[in-house]
Chains A and B, each alone.
Chain A
Amino acid sequence: MSTDTYENLRLELRRGCLVLAVMAALEHEQYGYTLRKALAERGLAVDEGTLYPLLRRLESQGLLASQWREEDKRNKRFYRLSDDGKRLLGQLLEEWKRIGASLNGILGGHLHGTG
């Protein structure tokens, strides 16, 4: 199996999780750079070329709200989860739990190295 195949599958696996992580992190208002740092500190490093287009997409879908504001004498764009985003996050978390439970059952043997 080539490294490219692994990398593509890894990115595909991360893509869905990333949306959930970003939405959850934005329950508290943050601007892009601090959001990126927060995700990286929790082990989910994401480059700016992925994060900012994702934030724009979520905002265009009405799940995030943003506002330009001055902080430390510089203009920064702050994002937070909208009301629609909060509702959807709740639904997605339920789905995440269901998927997690199913996967634990399916992958049980593999996760314990006996698969």
Chain B
Amino acid sequence: MGLVDRYLHSVEFWLPKEQQKDILAELSEDIRCEIEEKERAKGQKLTDPEIEALLKQRGSPFRVAGRYLPQRYLIGPAFFPLYTLVLKAILLCYLVPWLVSWVAIVVFMPSYRAEHPGLSVIWTLEGLWTITLYAFALATLVVALLERSARGKGFADSWERKWNLPAPREPHRIPRGDAVGQFLGGIVFALWWLGIIHRPQIEGLQLDFAPAVYRYVYWPILAVVLASAALAALNLLKPHWTRGRLIARVVIRGAEATTSIAFLLIATPVLVHVSGASAAQEATLAEVANWIMRVTVAAIALFAIGDGIRGLWLLARGRHVTAGLPQAAGPRAI
């Protein structure tokens, strides 16, 4: 087999099956035409090194074949901003807080360093890396599937329409982003709360809620979060506030505020245990963990109160559609 045939054979390997024969015939013809022309100019046959140089100039078989293939991508430009947003959220809300906690433990607790001498301390992060990797892989898979699904294409189109043709906002319409965010947030929180999504493990560090949390607020919090997710799901399907759903919104936000305040009334809701740490060190860590938890829960309570008041205001002003009646005329925003 000559050099040209070997080259073509290598190109063939990378070509799509249905086009192999056609592309190779044309490529072969082009190469032989070029060789013949050079031979005519030279007045004698080309040597193998000369043919090799000519083929090298055309590029590697992989590169040559690649130019005949359609452009393919896992995540296209329409979904790439969403993809990077999800990755950043994982990074900022998950990886960074846990890394900061880990660095704090390593820096401020000599006993922890003594227990994991030298580079072995890195291996205490194994669980965190694994979960982060899974999270990134899952995000990639979900967005890639969204990209390919017909519904995904519809979403991308509607997203583009939104920016190309901004439409006046419909009265009483519930923003889709709010409903999606509340639904997904509620489901993820519920899965975490139930222990189905595990917290990342830092070796030697144990975090848990106090028994009082399980006794008084565990199930009420779960019920409120699920109710909020159910309302968000309904809002996604029927994206206009009705009187009934505004009442449900006020009741759920009231329950959220109540359970959050009940959580805040528990003296030490988060228990911390670090193997090898002194009681004083553990107490300091517990104080920090409880402070972070209290601030987070207080923020949730404030949001719930604010949103509940807004719901009451909308109810009082009659800012809702009447169930069963057609919507006011106007273009759909999305």
Contact = CB atoms under 8 A, between A and B. Distances in A.
B68 interface: yes
Among B25, B30, B68, max chain A CB count under 10 A is at B30
A32 B59 contact: no
Interface stretch (A69-77, A91-99, A104-112): A69-77
Contact of B25 (A36, A49, A75): A75
Given A56-B68, A75-B25, A77-B25, A49 B63 contact: yes
B32 A52 contact: no
Contacts of B25: 68, 75, 77
B27 A52 contact: yes
B16 to A, nearest CB: 12
B29 interface: yes
B26 A47 contact: no
Name the interface size band of chain A.
Answer: 10 to 19
B334 interface: no
A74 B32 contact: yes
Contact of A33 (B29, B58, B63): B29
A57 B116 CA distance: 61
Nearest to B33: A33
A50 interface: yes
A53 B68 CA distance: 5
B64 interface: yes
A74 B36 CA distance: 13
Contact of A49 (B26, B32, B33, B59): B59
Contact of B29 (A50, A56, A77): A77
Interface in A14-44: 31-33, 36
A48 B26 CA distance: 10
Contact of A32 (B26, B58, B68): B26
B67 interface: yes
Interface string B40-82: 0000000000000000001100011001100000000000000
A21 B23 CA distance: 22
A49 B58 contact: yes
B27 to A, nearest CB: 7
Contacts of B67: 49-50, 52-53
A48 B29 contact: no
Nearest to B31: A48
B31 to A, nearest CB: 8
B63 A32 contact: no
A76 B26 CA distance: 7
Nearest to B25: A75
B34 interface: yes
A48 B58 contact: yes
Nearest to B23: A52
14 contacts: A32-B26, A32-B29, A33-B30, A48-B27, A49-B58, A49-B67, A50-B67, A52-B30, A53-B68, A68-B25, A74-B29, A74-B32, A75-B25, A76-B29
Given A33-B29, A52-B23, A74-B29, 5 more contacts: A32-B30, A48-B58, A52-B30, A75-B25, A77-B26
Interface of A: 31-33, 36, 47-50, 52-53, 56, 68, 74-77
Enumerate the 10 nearest inter-chain pairs by beta-carbon distance, A residue then B residue, closest first.
A33-B33, A49-B67, A53-B67, A33-B30, A53-B68, A77-B26, A48-B30, A49-B64, A32-B30, A76-B29
